[in-house]
Amino acid sequence: MEFEKSKKAFDEAKKYIPGGVNSPVRAFGSVDIAPIFIEKAKGSKIYDIDGNEYIDYICSWGPLILGHSNEKLVNGIEDEFKKGTSYGLPTQIETKMAKKIVDAYPSVEKVRMVNSGTEATMSALRLARAYTKKKKIIKFEGCYHGHSDGLLVKSGSGTLTYGIPTSPGVNSTVIEDTIVCEYNNIDSVKKAFQDSDDIAAVIVEPVAGNMGVVEAKKEFLEELRKVTKEYNSLLIFDEVITGFRLSYSGAQGIYDINPDLTCFGKIIGGGLPVGAYGGKAEIMDMIAPLGGVYQAGTLSGNPLAMYMGYNTLEILENNKDIYDDLQEKAKKLEKGLNEHIEKLNIDVTINRVKAMICIFMSQGPVDSYSQVMKSDTDKYAIFFKEMLKQGILLPPAQFEGLFLSTAHTDCDIEKTIDAAGEAFKVAFR
Ligand code: PLP
């Protein structure tokens, strides 16, 4: 496999873009090679500018649950594009989109569209503070909620990969209002509430997808619901990854928990930039123009993003067996990987929740941030490179999950399992 064109493109990009990329994990820093530059993608396959083909398990980090360039979506958007790209005035598809989300999530009575998951969580917290008239928030170690200041504390995803969980430039005064608790440890949350009566909200990824994949225990989420109610604080589910992925009604549908606010992103834009936050009308109506909580956006509810998102949801809603199929594929992958792991007798743990799956280079169980951090990132880097050579594109970082799509075939999964057998051997030589 040749990577010469990608290497050259990266050198050129580095001259003009910090680190040559517009989002850190794309730099392949933790796997210590130049990133591949992409030419095009279709279905489960992605093609770099050197002409190499890969089975893609990044899938744009989650939005592409229907695979790349899904024909039903792509064919329709051309007409939408010709009508106009942005108006700065309301369109009917925004209402249709909002209704789709409201119909799918009983906890959401009203929803506001924004442009990214970062904006969604940042705005939800502002709203929570205004509603409760309290200052502090609780987040969990290893959870990532985007890069707004107050949430960039002991964060996950690229911040873990690059060893900067709390970023320079985030003022200590901001950090003072962010309390960090331990994922799956309700006592750490109860203690925080006992120590402070000024906690506006608890924000949580109901299945953590930014320290690899770590399942929240059901009792943990149930207790979060109870304790936030008891202390008149809000519970915010960050379903930017899990929303419409874990099930059509997200993690909250599976765990049967009604948060006060929910944040969305990724899938609801079908591959175009989007985010949203929603919840009880009583809370949401505090946002301008009805209320005084200001939040706005030049491109919010962009008609092209709405088109892609709405039609993605339409397909998911009308084909609910998609979720069983995705889970079956993930199970097949899990089983195949585990067979290698057993046969080779190596310290690798596969975490899977429904179709969310992750490969940890350590002995299990991996159910907490501290366990996650025991994973051998050097071994993951070797494994990643060996997989890449065999045409399998995994997330270029240990702390990310694999993203499956409806376009991944059984044959893709079998090829991936075969390749992993070889790659494990090299990584554990
Ligand atoms: N919340 C979660 C759970 C995420 O995984 C992400 C991004 O990966 C975000 C929020 C931020 O979303 P965005 O990258 O669209 O700003």
Mean pLDDT over the full length of the chain: 96
* pLDDT (tens digit per residue) in 51-88: 999 999 999 999 999 999 999 999 999 999 999 999 99
User: Probe ligand 1: pick from 266, 302, 400, max atoms within 8 Å of CB?
Assistant: 266
413: CB partners within 8 A, 6+ apart = 329, 332, 333, 336
- Mean pLDDT for 91-119 is 98
Q: State in Å: Cα 165 to ligand 1 middle.
A: 15
| Number of the ligand 1 atom closest to the C-alpha atom of 61 | 8
Q: How far is the CA of 206 from the centre of ligand 1 (A)?
A: 13
The pLDDT of residue 152 is 87
- Catalytic positions: 144, 238, 266
**CATH classification number, 71-318, choose in 3.40.50.800, 3.40.640.10, 3.40.920.10, 3.30.1380.20:** 3.40.640.10
Spatial neighbors of 267 by CB under 8 A, at least 6 apart, are 62, 63, 65, 243, 244, 245, 309, 312, 313, 316
Where exactly does CATH 3.90.1150.10 map onto the chain? Answer: 4-69+320-427
ipTM above 0.90, yes or no: yes
pLDDT number for residue 165: 66
- Tell me what pLDDT residue 174 has: 85
pLDDT exceeds cutoff 70 at 3: yes
Segments of 34-172 assigned E as strands: 38-42, 45-48, 53-56, 110-114, 136-140
Query: What confidence category does residue 238 fall into, taking pLDDT thresholds of 50, 70 and 90?
Result: very high
Q: What is the pLDDT of residue 166?
A: 76
**Fold of the domain built from segment(s) 4-69+320-427:** Aspartate Aminotransferase, domain 1 (3.90.1150)
